[in-house]
Chains A and B, each alone.
Chain A
């Protein structure tokens, strides 16, 4: 990877609890189907929490709730010190500008070019055009796609679209990032590339993140690697490395959290379902 000078994310405002995101006994049902049954967890500052679970277990729903795109039936959700569960839509727009989200299928605006997609937030904030262009190029350089400025999303591969979505999410230096299956449906090489970008965002810019994934391999790579700024690449964490691990795992089953802890704790779990899930 080339050396880049991407600006660090804006400093998160100090949360009284030290938590960036808090879910407290959150319930949500779609008609008869109860998706979440009392979800509670915390996301700490500079931590990346990996959400695991089978398809339909409510992982993506948790991300949408954190962003206020959905409202819980009951329970409390706090993001960056503000309670989003009871916040009106008009007030949520300001909070959402401090959060970046990468959607499962990228959700790029198909009628806009890559440049316009990535710069969308900046144009909404009426940033001067020169500064917009500079920041777009920087963000695209971060995902190694600075040559795609004038292309439309339909002209890009699935992996490139996902990387553009990451560039769009980080353009205004969000305080927290939400990744919804960022490697879903991609080949192993592209997946590793995207995981490397997520690790870089975690280790270099210390951005807190929630990441949904189906791919255990990606999750363990994320937990067992670090980004080396000297060589500008992802390297495996040595067994002797005792520095703080910034990744944790959360496993959801039947709308409930059945595990919330570190990678070694997950590996040592005696729970039959967890053992089967990670095997």
Chain B
């Protein structure tokens, strides 16, 4: 194992941030440039969106269900069990829906992108693509970025809805709450701020997942071992970035709506 001096570590990390920024910038610019790879984008949308649907539905349902179960224990002490719908709704739409969906998609697709592009890199397929006159960021990165952003948005909406349904199942069949009361509470207390926050986040997280996955894939070195390393790094980096950025986006949206402390 090679040991690096602190200066070298700083240099390597600054260079990585620079390379990532360049790649992310080019992926965005390519959206407005020809050629546009529509078929590749649709194929990726199917892979990311439809492919992730089962895990997103399962995660969303049980998150909503457990949220209702956990909150009921506290709410019942204050005689406010009827607020379960409100609590599940706000938690799912503002926070858990976007974050958990993104983490699931990161685990599934950031790793997939890193391993696919990493394998292409170590077998010289990326070089072959460049040699054949194709820009790999246009052909491989931009379709993944566009698909991730669009599909994560819809996956989050589905996750929110399924989560609320999970909470409803627990509230009605286990806690004995009224069905109308649950849905009324869930809907009435949702404000523009909550919905805005819940829908901005998946767009940003989708961008993070795809660009991080592609960056680690295209930066792969060192054969199959390198592909494995890139895959792990992509999932870890995307997950950590999602959680860090989540805090700042929440704070920013709260400031817009004047509800920041």
Q: Which residues of B62-105 have CB atoms within 8 Å of chain A's CB atoms?
A: none
Q: Which residues of B117-134 have CB atoms within 8 Å of chain A's CB atoms?
A: 120, 123-125, 127-134
* Complex interface: chain A residues within 8 A of B120 (CB): 109
Would A124 and B133 count as touching, CB distance under 8 A?
yes
- Closest-by-CB residue of A relative to B130 is A69
Distance, CA A39 to CA B127, complexed state (A) = 23
Would B124 and A97 count as touching, CB distance under 8 A?
no
Q: Which residues of B175-217 have CB atoms within 8 Å of chain A's CB atoms?
A: none
* Complex interface: chain A residues within 8 A of B35 (CB): 124
Q: Which of the segments A74-82, A98-106, A259-267 contacts the partner chain?
A: A98-106
Q: 1/0 per residue A62-81: CB within 8 Å of B?
A: 00100101000000000000
Would B134 and A93 count as touching, CB distance under 8 A?
yes
Q: Which residues of A82-112 have CB atoms within 8 Å of chain B's CB atoms?
A: 89-90, 92-94, 96-97, 99, 101, 103-105, 107-110
Distance, CA A120 to CA B135, complexed state (A) = 13
Distance, CA A109 to CA B120, complexed state (A) = 8
- Shortest A223–chain B CB gap in Å is 26
- Closest-by-CB residue of B relative to A94 is B133
Would B127 and A107 count as touching, CB distance under 8 A?
yes
Distance, CA A173 to CA B127, complexed state (A) = 20
Distance, CA A121 to CA B131, complexed state (A) = 10
Contact of B130 among A96, A105, A124 (CB under 8 A): A96
Would B132 and A120 count as touching, CB distance under 8 A?
yes
Distance, CA A121 to CA B133, complexed state (A) = 8
- Shortest A124–chain B CB gap in Å is 6
Would A124 and B132 count as touching, CB distance under 8 A?
yes
- Closest-by-CB residue of A relative to B35 is A124
Distance, CA A103 to CA B121, complexed state (A) = 13
* Complex interface: chain B residues within 8 A of A92 (CB): 130
Task: Please report the total number of B residues contacting A with Cβ < 8 Å.
Answer: 14
Distance, CA A110 to CA B120, complexed state (A) = 9
Would B134 and A124 count as touching, CB distance under 8 A?
yes
Q: 1/0 per residue B126-168: CB within 8 Å of A?
A: 0111111111000000000000000000000000000000000
- Shortest B143–chain A CB gap in Å is 14
* Complex interface: chain A residues within 8 A of B127 (CB): 64, 69, 103, 107
Would B128 and A93 count as touching, CB distance under 8 A?
no
* Complex interface: chain B residues within 8 A of A96 (CB): 130-133
Distance, CA A121 to CA B124, complexed state (A) = 17
Distance, CA A93 to CA B123, complexed state (A) = 20
Distance, CA A93 to CA B130, complexed state (A) = 7
* Complex interface: chain B residues within 8 A of A89 (CB): 135
Distance, CA A274 to CA B129, complexed state (A) = 36
Contact of B135 among A67, A69, A90, A110 (CB under 8 A): A90
Contact of B125 among A67, A94, A110 (CB under 8 A): A110
* Complex interface: chain B residues within 8 A of A99 (CB): 131
Distance, CA A218 to CA B168, complexed state (A) = 75
- Shortest A118–chain B CB gap in Å is 11
Distance, CA A90 to CA B135, complexed state (A) = 8
* Complex interface: chain B residues within 8 A of A110 (CB): 123, 125
Distance, CA A107 to CA B123, complexed state (A) = 6
Residue positions of B touching A, CB distance < 8 A? 35, 120, 123-125, 127-135
Residue positions of A touching B, CB distance < 8 A? 64, 67, 69, 89-90, 92-94, 96-97, 99, 101, 103-105, 107-110, 120-121, 124, 168
Given A69-B130, A93-B135, A99-B131, 17 more A-B residue pairs with CB atoms under 8 Å apart are: A64-B127, A92-B130, A93-B134, A96-B130, A96-B133, A97-B132, A97-B133, A103-B124, A103-B131, A105-B124, A107-B124, A110-B125, A124-B35, A124-B132, A124-B133, A124-B134, A168-B132
Closest 8 A-B residue pairs measured CB to CB? A107-B128, A97-B133, A107-B124, A101-B131, A96-B133, A93-B133, A103-B124, A121-B132
The contact sample of 29 A-B pairs, CB cut-off 8 A, is A69-B127, A90-B135, A93-B130, A93-B135, A94-B133, A96-B131, A96-B132, A97-B132, A101-B128, A101-B131, A103-B127, A103-B128, A103-B131, A104-B124, A105-B123, A107-B123, A107-B124, A107-B125, A107-B127, A107-B128, A108-B128, A109-B125, A109-B129, A110-B123, A120-B134, A121-B133, A124-B35, A124-B134, A168-B132
